[in-house]
């Protein structure tokens, strides 16, 4: 099938459960995922809304502790940062890791904590979309051009030359979150096709993914871009347990703790339950076009979930 699987690291769980030494589990999971042969490991991003390990220091440490496994973000919020400094950090990490970076990017949730996070760093959350588009344009130009001048709504730079360059010729691949909840607006589709390298939604069902992919395909045809250059990926949250009710209870507890919100995810995440159910859902998503699954376990025992997934689910798609 050509399906790839990556694993989301538990970079926030130790804070949720107030376990100061628990941050080591993220490193253990990364090393174990590489040893098992997974394609990549991923981590989330937040400054104050959902506290966790910081992206660049953590991925840099993991890069030094591993040899092959890809390194990604699910999901990084570039609009909270200044783009020249961000481009420099991303280029250096890509260079030092040997070109292993893929950045899943978005603008974050429009929740009270998410909006507060924007205001905390002095960014107007109502202008997130245009800020994202300017950031994406600047990142690519800074990685590939020798003399960058840019005058936009949010950023102004004159005659900037960024060194060192990333290991990847065009810089790290950028997967954008268009398609969440099965909806892709015309603006999201234009942004993805013009500025991104792939589609990377969460909270989506297989039929919704197929519909979202069709919208992106139509926009790619309009812009004259080969759809094959836009990777169809999915940020997929699951819980593996033979007892479906027990799986649902722990997944709900974990997600409520993670987001600090009452239950709101409905049936667009999951499934929670036996390996057979997860395998069936993967097949449905593959039929809808997904080629890369970034798997987040809504569970406290990430290593245990990883081992079960490796034994009971992954072999059917290797």
- Which token pair is 238? 């699951």
Task: For the chain, give the mean pLDDT.
Answer: 95
The pLDDT confidence band at residue 264, using thresholds 50, 70 and 90, is low
Predicted pLDDT at 96:
98
Its CATH architecture, for the domain 4-317, is: Alpha-Beta Barrel (3.20)
The DSSP annotation for 35-85 comes to HHT-SEEEE---SSSS----HHHHHHHHHHH-SS-EEEEEEE-GGGS-HHH
Cα angle for residues 144, 148, 154 (degrees, 5° grid): 110
- How many angstroms separate the CA atoms of 206 and 282, rounded? 9
Q: Is the pLDDT score of 193 beyond 90?
A: yes
Higher pLDDT, 15 or 181: 15
This prediction has a pTM of 0.96
Q: Is the pLDDT score of 1 beyond 60?
A: no
Higher pLDDT, 310 or 109: 310
- How many angstroms separate the CA atoms of 135 and 197, rounded? 15
Bridge-partner residues for 293, per DSSP? 5, 234
The pLDDT confidence band at residue 290, using thresholds 50, 70 and 90, is very high
The pLDDT confidence band at residue 261, using thresholds 50, 70 and 90, is confident
- How many angstroms separate the CA atoms of 264 and 180, rounded? 14
Predicted pLDDT at 269:
86
Predicted pLDDT at 14:
96
- How many angstroms separate the CA atoms of 248 and 161, rounded? 51
The pLDDT confidence band at residue 265, using thresholds 50, 70 and 90, is low
Predicted pLDDT at 47:
96
Helix (H) or strand (E) holding 103: strand 101-105
The pLDDT confidence band at residue 270, using thresholds 50, 70 and 90, is confident
Q: Is the pLDDT score of 276 beyond 70?
A: yes
The pLDDT confidence band at residue 228, using thresholds 50, 70 and 90, is very high
The pLDDT confidence band at residue 183, using thresholds 50, 70 and 90, is confident
For 111, half-sphere exposure in the C-beta direction (CA atoms, 13 angstrom radius) is 12
Domain boundaries, the chain: 4-317
Q: What is the mean pLDDT of residues 33-55?
A: 97
Predicted pLDDT at 140:
98
Q: Is the pLDDT score of 37 beyond 60?
A: yes
Q: Is the omega angle on the peptide bond into residue 135 within 30 degrees of 0, that is, cis?
A: no
Q: What is the mean pLDDT of residues 142-158?
A: 98
Q: What is the mean pLDDT of residues 220-245?
A: 97
Predicted pLDDT at 116:
96
Predicted pLDDT at 263:
67
Predicted pLDDT at 255:
93
Across 261-265, 273-277, 286-290, least confident range: 261-265
Q: What is the mean pLDDT of residues 20-32?
A: 97
Q: Is the pLDDT score of 289 beyond 70?
A: yes
């Amino acid at each position: 099938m050509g399906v790839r699987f990556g694993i989301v690291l538990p970079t926030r769980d130790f804070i949720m459960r107030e376990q100061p030494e628990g941050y080591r589990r993220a490193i253990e999971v990364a090393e174990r995922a590489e040893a098992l042969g997974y394609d990549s490991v991923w981590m989330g991003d937040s400054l104050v809304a959902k506290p966790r390990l910081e992206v660049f220091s953590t991925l840099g440490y993991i890069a030094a502790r591993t040899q092959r496994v890809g390194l990604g973000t699910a999901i990084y919020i570039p609009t909270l940062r200044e783009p020249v400094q961000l481009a420099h950090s991303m280029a250096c990490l890509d260079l030092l890791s040997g070109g292993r970076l893929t950045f899943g990017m978005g603008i974050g949730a429009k929740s009270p904590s998410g909006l507060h996070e924007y205001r905390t760093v002095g960014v107007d959350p109502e202008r997130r979309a245009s800020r994202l588009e300017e950031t994406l344009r600047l990142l690519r130009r800074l990685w590939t051009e020798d003399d960058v001048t840019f005058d936009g709504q949010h950023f102004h730079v004159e005659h900037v030359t960024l060194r060192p360059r990333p290991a990847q010729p065009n810089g790290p691949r950028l997967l954008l979150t268009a398609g969440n909840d099965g909806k892709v607006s015309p603006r999201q589709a234009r942004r993805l096709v013009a500025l991104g390298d792939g589609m990377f939604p969460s909270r989506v069902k297989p039929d919704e993914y197929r519909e979202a992919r069709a919208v992106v395909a139509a926009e790619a045809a309009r812009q004259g871009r080969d759809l094959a250059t836009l990777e169809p990926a999915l940020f997929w949250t699951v819980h593996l347990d033979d007892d479906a009710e027990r799986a649902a209870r722990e997944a709900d507890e974990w997600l409520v703790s993670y987001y600090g919100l009452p239950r709101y995810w409905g049936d667009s995440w999951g499934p929670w339950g036996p390996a057979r159910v997860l395998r069936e859902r993967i097949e449905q998503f593959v039929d809808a076009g997904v080629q890369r699954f970034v798997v987040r376990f809504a569970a406290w025992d990430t290593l245990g979930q990883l081992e079960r997934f490796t034994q009971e689910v992954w072999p059917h798609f290797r």
